[in-house]
Each structure stands twice: as C-alpha cells, then as structure tokens.
Amino acid sequence: MAVNQLERNLESITRTISYLKSKGYKDENKIKELEEERKKMLKSLNIN
C-alpha cells in the first residue's frame, strides 16, 4: 500500500506503462516520457 503521494504516483505510472504495453499502445514517445517520469520518481525515492 502506498504511504505517500509520490509512491502513489509511482505506482500509477508503473501500472499505466504496463497496461499500455500490454495493449500494444503505438505512441512510443508517450511511453518513453512516462518511463522517464517513473525513473525520476524512483531516483527521488532513492529506489533505483
């Protein structure tokens, strides 16, 4: 369970990326943008 807002956002972005990839979403730029945002969140949480 998410403890704070950043963790909730991280979880949401992770699920969104997974969902889009599983459905064959064609906009690779949007997926890369989401992955970059996820990477920033992981870094700020010191999880990377």
What pLDDT is attached to residue 3?
A: 63
What pLDDT is attached to residue 32?
A: 97
CB 13 within 8 A of CB 34: yes
3-state secondary structure of 26: coil
For CA atoms 20, 26, 30, 34, give the dihedral sign: positive
**pTM for this structure?**
0.81
User: Which stretch of DSSP H or E encloses residue 27?
Assistant: none
**pLDDT (tens digit, 9 = 90+) per residue, 1-48?**
456 898 899 999 999 999 999 999 999 999 999 999 999 999 988 876
Q: What angle, 0 to 180 degrees and rounded to 10, lies between the N-to-C axes of helices 5-22 and 28-44?
A: 150
